[in-house]
Structure 1
Amino acid sequence: MAQTINNQLSTMWYGFAESIPSLSIALILLMVTGIIASFAVKIADRLIGKTELRPSLRNLIETLVKLGVWLLGWFIAAIVVFPDLTFGSLIAGLGIGAVAIGFAFQDIFENFLAGVLIMLREKMRIGDIIECEGITGKVEHITLRETHIRSASGELTVVPNSILFKNPVEILTDVEQRCHTVVVGVAYDSDLDKASEVIRKAVESAEGVDAAKGIDVFAHEFNSSSIDFLVRWWAGSTPRAGHESRDRIVRGIKRGLDEAGIEIPFPYITHTFKDKVPLGNVD
């Protein structure tokens, strides 16, 4: 029994010693592969730099170039260590292994494929502000597995690419301008035509409003204490531009209605005691 174990250990040792030259050559090949991959990425980056490709698509091409060089290097190193291997048998073995790995790491490959497709499509570029599944923020980085989204308050959300690919994504900055709205209420005894004109002039005079795209002032509905106007205008598409534009519009409308002597009534709410009191007096 002891003799058998010694013979097996001796055989394993001699086999390992005989394979040391092949392992050394394979290790050198992998080191050379790393150097070649770095140069290949730099060359690809220089060639891509002369084009107008999107940053996400550039990252995809650079990643695929590096992946291709490394796969080729591993193939050659495996053939050096195992001389009986051929490219055909190695690719066939990889195909069978890929199926098994695919089942085991389904989510990872799903995110990988989603990342490739996201990088290839034209919409949702780095720098866009998006909203998806309750996540809102600026796209900072897109990788093959995940996308980094920075919220307006500074938090970073790492989102798996499959979520962005399978769910509707609202791109707030797809165009430079978008439509903004605000509701303005006036008292029931107000002259609605005059109020509409005052509101329109206030919106037209506000900075950043694109009057060429149209300004809408609609008598919208009968509220509990006011007749409400729905006001729509076009301005910058980023959230900050929207807040700034809304601030100027609200201030301008308030100033214009005050100067015209048109009342903006307090909203009334119903208490549990069935008393209607101004919102400003509620505890």
Structure 2
Amino acid sequence: MQADNTTPAGETYDQNVDTMATLTDQLVDMGEGFIRALPGMAIALVILFITWLVAKLAVRFVKRVTEKTDFRESLEKLAVTIVKLAVWLVGIMIAAIVVMPGLTPGSLIAGLGIGAVAIGFAFQDIFENFLAGVLIMLREKMRIGDVIECEGIKGKVEHITLRETYVRDMSGEVTLVPNAMLFKNPVEILTDQSQRRHDVVAGVSYDTDLDHAADVIRQAVESVDLVDKAKGIDIFASEFGASSVNFNVRWWAGSKPRDMHESRDKVIRAIKRALDDAGIEIPFPYITHTFKEPVPIDK
């Protein structure tokens, strides 16, 4: 004889009723909890509004203080960002404690620490660029307006944020460079000083008196108003070229790309004019062909 395993219909109905009652009770409790939390949420919104006002006032205060000092623009932006983050962090913590009274500053900080570790692994590159941006803003070199070159990127530093640096190319394009790249790799700052040394090669024919040619070239370079004569002008005979003896001409002028092009243009024009006036030839490349047998020439 087999046992009857079927469940009576009345018992199933009672279980459904119990489930619905439990869900109803939970919904009612949630609604009552939400209503009880409304005053706290309203206070939290007021706290966030006050935080916004305090952050604006703090930023204005920091800007006024930094304007009276010799702070670089990048350091001023860093100070403003740190103050704003600090004010908002404190305001959000106070608002969270008001909404959830069970929270304490210690537990909230501990939770933030655990969350920061998890977020740090997930957004490693973002935080790396963030820290690199802070360090770039703190160091003295590479100011906004400098012309730099790094890993094939060359241009004017236009803006530095906590994640990336805006580098404007000389032709007008802008490149967003991650701060970690500028921090890890060598950066050549072309405008670190107001002046830099420029050079150009000038060739004269082999039958030229080199001392005389050097004097002519020197006087030509000295006649250019963009050249800083106080820092000296170098005229070095550098090599025996294919068809000329080459001089390496070096002078000091403005370090900006525009200054470089203008001074180079005027120096080359002055050298060419002076050599022509002195009757010194600037030779074209000569090619000499040698043959084992005499080459017949038809008359």
TM-score range, shorter chain: over 0.9
CA RMSD of aligned residues (A): 1.5
Q: Which segment drifts farther, 211-220 or 9-18?
A: 9-18
2:160 pairs with 1:176: no
Q: Secondary structure at the match of 1:225?
A: coil
Match for residue 41 of structure 1 among 33, 46, 59: 59
1:123-167 CA distance string (max 9 Å, x none): 001111111111111111111111111111111111111111111
Task: Report the residue type matching 1:122 in the other structure.
Answer: E
Larger Rg: 2
Equivalent-residue separation in structure 1 for 2:264 and 2:287 (angstroms): 25
Distance change >3 Å, CA 193–CA 208, structure 1 → 2: same
Task: Report the residue type matching 2:119 in the other structure.
Answer: I
What is the Cα deviation at residue 5 of structure 1?
Answer: 2.3
User: Identity rate of aligned residues, in percent?
Assistant: 67
Equivalent-residue separation in structure 1 for 2:245 and 2:93 (angstroms): 75
What is the Cα deviation at residue 269 of structure 1?
Answer: 8.1
Match of 1:123 in 2: 141
| TM norm structure 2 | 0.88
Equivalent-residue separation in structure 1 for 2:251 and 2:189 (angstroms): 19
2:87 pairs with 1:69: yes
Q: Which runs of 5+ in 2 are unaligned?
A: 1-18, 291-299
What is the Cα deviation at residue 20 of structure 1?
Answer: 1.4
2:89 pairs with 1:80: no
Match of 1:17 in 2: 35
Q: Secondary structure at the match of 2:149?
A: strand
2:246 pairs with 1:228: yes
Q: Secondary structure at the match of 2:202?
A: strand
Match of 2:265 in 1: 247
1:59-117 CA distance string (max 9 Å, x none): 10011111110000011001101112111111111111111111101111111101110
Equivalent-residue separation in structure 1 for 2:260 and 2:181 (angstroms): 27
Equivalent-residue separation in structure 2 for 1:32 and 1:153 (angstroms): 46
2:241 pairs with 1:216: no
Equivalent-residue separation in structure 2 for 1:266 and 1:250 (angstroms): 16
Q: Which runs of 5+ in 1 are unaligned?
A: 275-283
1:229-251 CA distance string (max 9 Å, x none): 11111000001001000000000
| TM norm structure 1 | 0.92
Match of 1:54 in 2: 72
What is the Cα deviation at residue 10 of structure 1?
Answer: 2.1
